[in-house]
């Protein structure tokens, strides 16, 4: 039972409140407020007033106290509420921006919102608002690789020309190796996918060895010549070249796009090329695997068969690779180069200019 509440209504007050309830133009918040006051003045308790008005006890109590402290006109008006908080001063915003762009806090590598709150003396939400307004995300970083190959431009145009306009009667192969592919087996089985739950996979695993996959993607037809080996030395690479040679006896010219690693540049590999004049190597620029079309084949193999797979032995892993290779050969898709090489070259040039201007 609420104590200290005494509501007395004179005839004019009661008439005014009843008029508010009867009027069809009265706001509903005034109607239920006037009804709760009339019920309280008639001696009804808090529970009965709550039942008839459908409002909570704290709301009814605040209205009763306000009725006792103000006149009728004041009672029919909404109480004043605090306005919006004053905006941040411009010098505070400039200070936060300068601190964010110039240095980090102490020995930390980057600013966090909590560190900025402590250093600038502002609220947590204010720091977030400033960063969001000016597009700053000091808690995120992107990685990049700037190519430093002195023959980058010539190599890009050479390889793109092979993709777009190869020479007549020539076969173009994109060649690379996927080394150290591990046969990983999970220590515990996971749970299957179901509605409202992801599929699960145990992060603990057992290693059962590694294998290497050499692959050559026929750019024009989309077919892949693959070979699995235990290691990835020059000897295995020469055996893979012999396999390509056996599968392309009718072609008078073989153009191979290879990466810039040490295996294709081995002296014995160079001697093998001198004995077979049909084969010609085209090296991609250093750290430019995106120019090698066979990397798309390796990415599909990893995402669709290897990344979530569980293999109890090397034989099991090789069988999974063989099945994916066979399915790819059943539905080959020619490789189509769509990017503008000049745009890639210009992007590298702008990146170098930006680094040189800062450092």
CATH number at residue 225: 3.30.420.10
Average pLDDT of the residues of the chain: 85
Dump the DSSP string for 273-327.
HHH-TTEEEEEPPTT-GGG-THHHHHHHHIIIIITT---SSHHHHHHHHHHHHHH
Each residue of 181-194: b (16+ CB within 10 Å) or e?
Answer: bebbbbeeeeeeee
Whether residues 277 and 198 share a domain: the answer is yes
> Residue 200 in 3-state DSSP?
coil
Does 139 map to a domain?
no
Residue range 307-326: average pLDDT?
Answer: 91
* Per-residue pLDDT tens digits for 69-89: 665 555 555 555 566 777 888
Maximal C-alpha separation, the chain: 119
Residue range 272-281: average pLDDT?
Answer: 90
* Per-residue pLDDT tens digits for 211-238: 999 999 999 999 999 999 988 899 999 9
pLDDT of residue 93: 92
Does 332 map to a domain?
yes
Does 4 map to a domain?
no
Which has more pLDDT, 183 or 34?
A: 183
Structure tokens at 191: 């749970």
What is the pLDDT confidence band of residue 25, given thresholds at 50, 70 and 90? confident
- On the question of pLDDT at 349 being above 90, the answer is no
The whole-angstrom separation of Cα 240 and Cα 228 is 9
Does 358 map to a domain?
no
Does 6 map to a domain?
no
**For the chain, what is the domain count?**
3
Does 57 map to a domain?
yes
Structural domain that includes position 254: 152-352
Whether residues 67 and 186 share a domain: the answer is no
CA torsion angle for 83, 89, 92, 93 (degrees, to 10)? 90
Whether residues 171 and 243 share a domain: the answer is yes
Residue among 291, 261, 252, 104 nearest 177 (CA): 261
Whether residues 213 and 335 share a domain: the answer is yes
pLDDT of residue 1: 45
């Amino acid at each position: 039972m609420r104590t200290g509440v005494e509501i007395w209504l004179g005839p004019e007050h009661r008439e005014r409140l009843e008029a508010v309830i009867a009027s069809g133009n009265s706001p509903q918040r005034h109607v239920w407020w006037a009804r709760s006051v009339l019920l309280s003045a008639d001696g009804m308790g808090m529970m009965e007033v709550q039942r008839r008005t459908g409002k909570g006890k704290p709301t009814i109590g605040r209205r009763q106290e306000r009725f006792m402290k103000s006149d009728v006109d004041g009672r029919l008006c909404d109480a004043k509420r605090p306005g919006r908080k004053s905006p941040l001063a411009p010098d505070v915003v400039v200070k936060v921006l300068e601190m964010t762009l110039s240095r980090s806090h102490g020995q930390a590598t980057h600013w966090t919102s909590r560190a900025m709150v402590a250093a600038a003396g502002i609220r947590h939400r204010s720091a977030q608002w400033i960063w969001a307004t000016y597009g700053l995300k000091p808690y995120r970083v992107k990685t990049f690789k700037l190519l430093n190959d002195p023959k980058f431009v010539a190599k890009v145009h050479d390889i793109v020309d092979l993709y777009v306009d190869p020479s007549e009667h020539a076969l173009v192969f994109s060649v690379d190796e996927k080394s150290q592919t591990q046969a990983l087996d999970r220590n515990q089985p996971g749970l299957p996918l179901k509605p409202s739950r992801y599929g699960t996979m145990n992060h603990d695993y057992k290693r059962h060895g590694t294998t290497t996959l050499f692959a050559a993607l026929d750019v024009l037809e989309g077919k892949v010549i693959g070979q699995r080996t235990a290691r990835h030395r020059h000897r295995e690479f020469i055996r893979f070249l012999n396999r390509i040679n056996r599968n392309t006896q009718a072609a008078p010219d073989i153009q191979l796009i290879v990466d810039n690693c040490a295996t294709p540049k081995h002296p014995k590999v160079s001697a093998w090329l001198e004995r077979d004049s049909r084969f010609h190597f085209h090296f991609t620029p250093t750290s430019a695997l995106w120019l090698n079309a066979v990397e798309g084949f390796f990415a599909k193999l990893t995402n669709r068969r290897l990344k979530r797979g569980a293999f109890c032995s090397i034989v099991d892993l090789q069988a999974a690779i063989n099945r994916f290779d066979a399915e790819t050969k059943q539905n080959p898709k020619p490789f189509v180069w769509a990017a503008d090489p000049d745009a890639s070259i210009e992007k590298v040039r702008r990146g170098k200019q930006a680094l040189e201007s800062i450092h």
